[in-house]
């Protein structure tokens, strides 16, 4: 397949059947020329929306064509034709689990909860009742509805013509805890007990897996080699298990919506380990999908798109066409300004791959619940991403199927319980020279009775008897901190040392806070008495007794970062990159092997929490004279700011290390380090 394009639009068109003048002002030439002028080279357009309406001249389902499309039943066909004339691709959208018309007219096709109610998956995270507005009643693809989906996809491909179909985007495809008659029957046939939640979820996962397999085969039998993507709002380990049915990833992550700015960095670092091509979604909306007549601040849209480039992702901006069909010139002035900059940067982003030194094992891999949404990204994963970003380390989020040998250090954050398989894999990784950092429950066996990873050199005693307790820095660990107690807010694990050595001590309070004995407002202060080991080291493998990454996500105490910083600096004296910039600066390192060069991306945008609901970016705060020290596998022979091609002076040290200074960073800059 052709590589994904860098400058894409997802053109929503969820339009009520109660609006009776649909596309009265639509002009196909204006639509496509506006996109072209905005440097757009791919736009996803609608065949069918969440209201259940069709936007093409359907032969099989003429009754579903939007009743307001009185004079333009060929809307999709005309969009495709006008865009193709300008070299713009047009993947075709269809909805899957949300279809208001089908859910109301075929109640037997709806997902049913274990207590017999219809299942709603509301966009705003609430549970709508019968009279709440919205099309969020969930349809089950285990019912005859699956055949309707096939028929509708085949219908639209035939109507617009196979040669005009660039891809199929199937929206809202998630694992659902469904107890409809079809699912109950399927569970019984497979020997599952429908009364047990765990068995319902296992069946639901298998059913969605089979649905994707069947649907991709069906689509490619009609037209081979077109793109196919199933959107579930998040790419995680469960999605990765079905990757053979996808042609690429699309990371839906609108930072001003429910995703927030942290979600993208977590997800992209995992998705990119698959080796598949991928693009990322943001939106032109001030908030999220369906926010009509709003526009994102230009500074925010720049950051979101340039951040995609920094992580080797193609860019996609979500928009929604007005019911009258008129494409907004003002919106595309905004998008065009950003995409013109993206276009200039593309040569240094094409076929680039990440250069990393750490692998962070995700606890999301082990979740078994039905909700694979972004809200289920564990706190410890969000916390460690923020922490490592602030320290400037280059890392991937990985699962236990990954080759650990790619990484100098593997980190098990807070809640990675170990099967025999994982324990053996880690043991072999350490034997081959890799190093491990684990915290809290990580490294324990599934029953949490003992450590499955023996190379940590410790044994479990149990839950720490005091909480909170306190860590005391030393000259090696926490060396930038005052030499006093630092509170660790969440309860840890008490351990006994075997082959390890204690590198940081934990001190205990006078007593735990209860109704019988308490002190002050929050917790009891330290008694200055030693309690148990806080951080241990065994032949280069470290264990933190506390859930430091969850603590960091919840409360952001700098001392957690400082303890980890010193452990990492001990293990990697020469990291890939070091800088003197602030913690708000993000740095990534990529390589274009065919071009013989590394590309360093530096981003400095600061999302502000001024509003109650969302983070915003209004200003670009420039940085000056940022010094970077880089230690990469190849010897560098040139340092250039791109795309402006300004040469920078640099110094060369041992082991391919170089240093140079970037005079000014205004939002985003890229530095080419050539080695050929």
3-state secondary structure 167-190: EEEEECCCCCCCCCHHHHHHHHHC
Tell me whether residue 490 is exposed, middle or buried, using C-beta atoms within 10 angstroms of its C-beta: 0 to 12, 13 to 18, 19 or more: middle
CA dist 412 and 417 (Å) reads 9
Q: What is the pLDDT of residues 195-228, one digit of tens each?
A: 999 999 999 999 999 999 999 999 999 999 999 9
Instruction: Calculate the alpha carbon distances from 412 to 288, 363, 384, 422 in Å.
Output: 33, 8, 10, 11
Architecture of domain 7-353: Alpha-Beta Barrel (3.20)
Other Cβ atoms less than 10 A from the Cβ of 63: the count is 9
Element (H, E) at 409: strand 409-412
DSSP assignments along 3-20, one per residue: PPPSEEEEEE----TT--
pLDDT, position 122 = 59
CA dist 474 and 477 (Å) reads 5
pLDDT, position 188 = 98
Element (H, E) at 152: helix 145-160
CA dist 486 and 477 (Å) reads 13
Closest-CA residue to 182 (of 153, 151, 210): 210
Element (H, E) at 447: none
DSSP one-letter code for 62: G
Contact yes or no for 316/93 (Cβ under 8 A): no
Q: Low-confidence residues of the chain, pLDDT below 70?
A: 121-129, 367-376
CA dist 647 and 638 (Å) reads 8
Contact yes or no for 154/222 (Cβ under 8 A): yes
- Mean pLDDT score of the chain: 95
pLDDT, position 31 = 98
User: 169-198: b or e for each residue (b if 16 or more CB lie within 10 Å)?
Assistant: bbbbbbbbbbbbebbbebbeeeebebeeee
Q: Which residue shows structure tokens 């019912």?
A: 143
- The CATH class that applies to domain 577-675 reads mainly beta
Residue extent(s) of CATH 3.20.20.80 domains in the chain:
7-353
DSSP assignments along 283-302, one per residue: ESSSSSTT-TT----HHHHH
The DSSP bridge partners found for residue 251 are 280
Contact yes or no for 22/66 (Cβ under 8 A): yes
Packing angle between helix 145-160 and helix 75-84, nearest 10 degrees?
50
pLDDT, position 388 = 97
In the chain the first and final C-alpha atoms are separated, in Å, by: 29
Element (H, E) at 564: helix 558-571
Q: CA triplet 253, 255, 256: central angle to 5 degrees?
A: 130
The alpha carbon torsion through 47, 53, 57, 61 (nearest 10 deg) reads 110
pLDDT, position 374 = 46
For residue 322, give every residue at least 6 positions away whose Cβ sits within 8 Å of its Cβ, in sequence order, or none: 292, 328
pLDDT, position 662 = 98
Other Cβ atoms less than 10 A from the Cβ of 329: the count is 12
What are the tokens at 623? 């940085």
Residue extent(s) of CATH 2.60.40.1180 domains in the chain:
577-675
The CATH number of domain 358-571, selected from 3.40.50.880, 2.30.42.10, 3.60.20.10, 3.30.160.250: 3.40.50.880
For residue 328, give every residue at least 6 positions away whose Cβ sits within 8 Å of its Cβ, in sequence order, or none: 319, 322
Q: Using alpha carbons only, how large is the chain's radius of gyration in Å?
A: 27
- % of the chain at pLDDT higher than 90: 92
CA dist 653 and 346 (Å) reads 31
């Amino acid at each position: 397949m052709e590589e994904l394009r860098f400058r894409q639009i997802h053109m929503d068109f969820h339009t009520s059947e109660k609006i009776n003048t649909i596309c009265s002002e639509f002009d196909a030439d204006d639509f496509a020329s506006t996109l072209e002028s905005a440097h757009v080279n791919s736009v996803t357009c609608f065949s069918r929306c969440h209201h259940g309406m069709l936007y093409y001249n359907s032969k099989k389902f003429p009754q579903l064509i939007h009743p307001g499309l009185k004079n333009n039943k060929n809307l999709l066909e005309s969009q495709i034709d006008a865009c193709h004339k300008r070299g713009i691709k047009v993947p075709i959208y269809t909805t899957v689990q949300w279809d208001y018309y089908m859910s109301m007219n075929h109640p037997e096709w709806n997902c049913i909860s274990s207590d017999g109610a219809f299942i709603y998956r509301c966009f705003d995270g609430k549970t709508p009742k019968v009279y709440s507005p919205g099309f969020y009643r969930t349809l089950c693809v285990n019912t005859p509805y699956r055949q309707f989906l096939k028929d509708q996809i085949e219908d639209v491909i035939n109507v617009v013509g196979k040669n005009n179909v660039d891809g199929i985007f199937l929206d809202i495809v998630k694992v659902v805890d469904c107890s409809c008659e079809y699912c109950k029957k399927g569970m019984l046939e497979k020997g599952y007990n429908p009364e047990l939640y765990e068995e319902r979820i296992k069946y639901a996962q298998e059913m969605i897996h089979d649905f994707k397999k069947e649907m991709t085969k069906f689509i490619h039998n009609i037209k081979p080699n077109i793109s196919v993507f199933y959107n579930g709002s998040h790419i995680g380990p469960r999605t990765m298990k079905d990757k053979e049915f996808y042609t690429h990833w699309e990371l839906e992550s609108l930072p001003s919506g429910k995703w927030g700015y942290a979600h993208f960095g977590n997800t992209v670092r995992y998705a990119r380990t698959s080796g598949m091509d991928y693009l990322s979604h943001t939106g032109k909306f001030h908030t999220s999908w369906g926010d009509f007549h709003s526009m994102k601040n230009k500074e925010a849209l720049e950051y979101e798109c340039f951040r995609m480039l920094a992580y080797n992702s193609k860019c996609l901006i979500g928009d929604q066409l007005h019911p009258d069909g008129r494409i907004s010139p003002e919106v595309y002035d905004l998008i065009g300004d950003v995409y013109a900059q993206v276009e200039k940067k593309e040569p240094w982003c094409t076929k680039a791959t990440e250069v990393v030194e750490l692998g962070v094992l995700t606890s999301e891999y082990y979740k078994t619940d039905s909700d694979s949404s972004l809200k289920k990204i564990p706190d410890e994963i969000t916390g460690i991403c923020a922490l490592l970003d602030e320290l400037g380390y280059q890392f991937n989020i990985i699962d236990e199927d990954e080759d650990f040998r790619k990484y100098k250090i593997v980190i098990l954050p807070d809640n990675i319980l170990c099967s025999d398989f994982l324990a053996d894999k880690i043991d072999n990784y350490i034997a081959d020279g890799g190093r491990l950092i684990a915290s809290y429950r990580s490294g324990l066996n599934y029953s949490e009775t003992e450590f499955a990873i023996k190379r940590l050199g410790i044994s479990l005693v149990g839950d720490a008897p005091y909480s909170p307790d306190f860590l005391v820095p030393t000259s090696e660990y926490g060396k930038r901190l005052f030499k006093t107690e630092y509170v660790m807010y969440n309860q840890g694990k008490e351990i006994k040392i075997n082959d390890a050595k204690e590198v940081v001590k934990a001190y205990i309070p006078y007593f735990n806070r209860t109704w019988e004995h308490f002190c002050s407002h929050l917790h009891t202060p330290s008694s200055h008495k030693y309690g148990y080991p806080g951080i241990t080291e065994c032949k280069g493998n470290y264990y933190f007794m506390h859930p430091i990454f969850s603590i960091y996500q919840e409360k952001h105490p700098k001392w957690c970062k400082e303890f980890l910083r010193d452990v990492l600096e001990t293990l990697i004296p020469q990291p890939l990159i070091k800088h003197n910039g602030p913690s708000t600066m993000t740095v990534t390192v990529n390589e274009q092997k065919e071009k013989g060069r590394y590309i360093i991306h530096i981003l400095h945008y600061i999302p502000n929490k001024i509003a109650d609901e969302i983070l915003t970016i209004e200003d670009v705060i420039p940085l000056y004279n940022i010094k970077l020290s880089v230690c990469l596998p190849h010897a560098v022979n040139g340092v250039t700011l791109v795309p402006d091609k300004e040469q920078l002076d640099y110094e060369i040290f041992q082991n391919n290390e170089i240093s140079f200074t970037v005079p000014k960073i205004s939002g985003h800059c890229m530095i080419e380090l050539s080695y050929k």
